[in-house]
């Protein structure tokens, strides 16, 4: 078939014109063609049918077909009754009753002697307990001996507490050592840097020291820890050391701040040392006798070769608690 060349350029052709877009596709339109006719419209009517509804009378039962006269009467089929399947009963084994009877007899012969022996065992155990609970007066810590030991322990405690304020008392060394450490930790200066005499504080802390023994206990080596020991409880009256520390260190920090002695490596001059010492004495006098406190402490004792002595470390513990060395 010969190919025909087209004179239409597909890239420059206009829009195609569809058949239904042509002005003559629908022909001439009459504007009055859609208007309704002038005569009135009548809807179609339905003619009645010839159906007659039935009345409410009950329907008649259809007649049963007649059976032929020459047919033999039918005989009902026998009904099959459901009878349960026979249950097979196991055969009784012979000889079991005799075996059970023999076992019962053997059990009775074994248990009766045991039951009869229980009251005897119970009586023996009660007798043993009674022996253990019996108090042997010869081994007891007699009241007279206990009273003598308590008197010795109390005398030892009195001698110890009476020497607390003595010039060479171990309590003085404990109080002085703790005050110097606490002073430097709080202010950053030693007591020598600010012209403070430690003995002034020690004398103040021992001012008005008094004690009152409240209880004494003594125990021999058969009680408690296996060795004889004793305890003494007492109430000790001292100046209120905590109240003094709170007041003094607050005033000391204020003084150092006013004199530019905080946070710099500058030693105070003589005038500053004198002013600070006056501040320290003023704080001591304010709490010397007006504010006191009472603490309950104790001393532990043990029995030595020559009588009762203080237990190791008990003196330092009591002094640290009384004079707040912590």
User: How many beta carbons lie within 10 A of that of residue 15, not counting itself?
Assistant: 6
Helix (H, G, I), strand (E, B) or coil at 214: strand
Measured CA to CA, the distance from residue 35 to residue 31 in angstroms comes to 8
Q: Which two tokens stand for residue 28?
A: 């001439």
Phi/psi at 184 (5° precision): -70, -35
Alpha carbon distance 238, 323 (integer Å): 7
pTM for the full predicted model: 0.56
Report the alpha-carbon angle 87-93-98, nearest 5.
145
Each residue of 135-170: b (16+ CB within 10 Å) or e? eeeeeeeeeeebeebbebbbebbeebbeebbeeebe
Position 132 scores a pLDDT of 47
Using CA atoms, how far apart are residues 265 and 61, in angstroms rounded to an integer? 135
In the chain (326 residues long), the average pLDDT of successive 10-residue segments reads 53 64 55 54 60 56 50 48 50 58 73 58 48 46 84 96 96 97 95 96 94 94 74 95 95 94 86 96 87 91 90 96 94
pLDDT at 201: 97
């Amino acid at each position: 078939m010969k190919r025909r060349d087209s004179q239409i350029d597909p890239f420059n052709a206009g829009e195609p014109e569809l058949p239904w877009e042509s002005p003559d596709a629908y022909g001439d339109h009459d504007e009055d063609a859609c208007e309704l006719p002038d005569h009135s419209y009548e809807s179609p009517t339905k003619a009645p049918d010839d159906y007659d509804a039935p009345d409410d009378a009950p329907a008649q039962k259809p007649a049963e077909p007649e059976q032929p006269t020459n047919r033999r009467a039918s005989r009902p089929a026998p009904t099959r009754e459901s009878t349960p399947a026979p249950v097979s009963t196991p055969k009784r084994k012979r000889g079991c009753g005799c075996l059970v009877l023999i076992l019962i007899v053997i059990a009775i012969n074994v248990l009766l002697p045991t039951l009869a022996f229980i009251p005897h065992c119970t009586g023996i155990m009660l007798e043993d307990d009674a022996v253990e609970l019996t108090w042997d007066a010869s081994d007891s810590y007699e009241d007279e001996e206990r009273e003598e030991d308590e008197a010795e322990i109390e005398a030892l405690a009195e001698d110890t507490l009476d020497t607390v304020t003595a010039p060479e008392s171990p309590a003085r060394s404990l109080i002085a050592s703790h005050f110097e450490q606490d002073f430097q930790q709080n202010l950053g200066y030693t007591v020598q840097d600010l012209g403070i005499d430690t003995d002034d504080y020690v004398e103040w802390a021992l001012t008005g020291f008094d004690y009152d023994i409240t209880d004494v206990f003594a125990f021999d080596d058969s009680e408690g820890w296996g060795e004889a020991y004793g305890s003494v409880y007492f109430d000790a009256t001292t100046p209120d050391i905590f109240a003094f520390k709170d007041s003094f260190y607050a005033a000391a920090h204020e003084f150092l701040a006013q004199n530019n002695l905080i946070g710099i490596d500058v030693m105070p001059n003589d005038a500053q040392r004198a002013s600070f010492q006056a501040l320290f004495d003023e704080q001591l006098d304010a709490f010397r006798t007006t504010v006191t406190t009472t603490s309950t402490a104790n001393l532990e004792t043990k029995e030595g070769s020559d009588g009762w002595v203080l237990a190791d470390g008990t003196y330092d513990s009591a002094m640290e608690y009384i004079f707040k060395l912590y």
